Amino acid sequence: MIDRHKQIIEEIQASIAVKQAVMEQNVETINRIIETARESLQTGHKLLLFGNGGSAADSQHIAAEFVSRFVMERQALPAIALTVDTSILTATGNDYHFDRVFARQIEALGQAGDVAWGISTSGNSPNVLKGMEEARRKGLKTIAFTGESGGKLKDAVDICLMVPSRNTARIQESHIMAAHIICGAVERELCG
């Protein structure tokens, strides 16, 4: 039992250390993302979020914070998680290739001025990269959340939040922390 307690404390301390590093290295990046999201929403555009696995769940979580509410009662803000329509995902995966599941939706739903917000802990998810290619082709603003290296995604987007860790759990925890900061700021600035 004592070893388990020690393990729990070590995991929490590791999470705090990564978040501390995010604070030290990414405040300006987070600020740029807030400005980009706010400007897009303020001008009648939308956020399109996507990723795989835990990052798919994070996309849904973040979209829900914008559409429903984060802290305050306010108007709904347009955000769509491109990870939730199983018919589109499976049809595109079958008819084209799984690498195209996000690009195809951005082709259909994205408009210049919208934000494409891709999440990939490695920064190398082929379908997220292809989604960003399509977003850029259509004139969307592009944001990525990645891990330490940024992978190929860091060079494929306008703004990249790179969490300084290689541990997937720590990266995902920091992604949600940053997303909550972004949601709160956008909500206050647009609806406060």
pLDDT tens digit sequence for 104-163: 999 999 999 999 999 999 999 999 999 999 999 999 999 999 999 999 999 999 999 999
Phi-psi sector, 48: left (phi>0), alpha (psi -120 to 50), beta: beta
Angle between helices 168-191 and 2-42 (to 10 degrees): 40
Q: Determine the Cα–Cα distance for residues 73 and 191; give it in Å rounded to an integer.
A: 9
- Residues linked to residue 116 through DSSP beta bridges, in sequence order: 48, 142
Instruction: Please report the domains of the chain, with CATH numbers, ordered by start residue.
Output: 2-191 (3.40.50.10490)
Strand, coil or helix: what is 89? Answer: helix
Burial 68-87 (b: 16+ CB within 10 A, else e): ebbeeeeeebbbbbbbeeee
pLDDT tens digit sequence for 68-112: 989 999 999 999 999 999 999 999 999 999 999 999 999 999 999
Q: 108, 147 in Cβ contact below 8 A? A: no
pLDDT (mean) for 7-18? 96
Q: 83, 89 in Cβ contact below 8 A? A: yes
Q: Which tokens sit at 17? A: 């250390």
Q: What is the mean pLDDT of the chain?
A: 96
Phi-psi sector, 151: left (phi>0), alpha (psi -120 to 50), beta: left
Instruction: State the maximum Cα–Cα separation within the chain, in Å, rounded to a whole number.
Output: 56
Closest CA to 138 of 178, 168, 160, 105: 105
Centre a 10 Å sphere on the Cβ of residue 8 and count the other Cβ atoms it contains: 10
- Residues linked to residue 119 through DSSP beta bridges, in sequence order: 51, 145
Q: 79, 187 in Cβ contact below 8 A? A: no
Phi-psi sector, 44: left (phi>0), alpha (psi -120 to 50), beta: left
Would you state the pLDDT for residue 1? Answer: 62
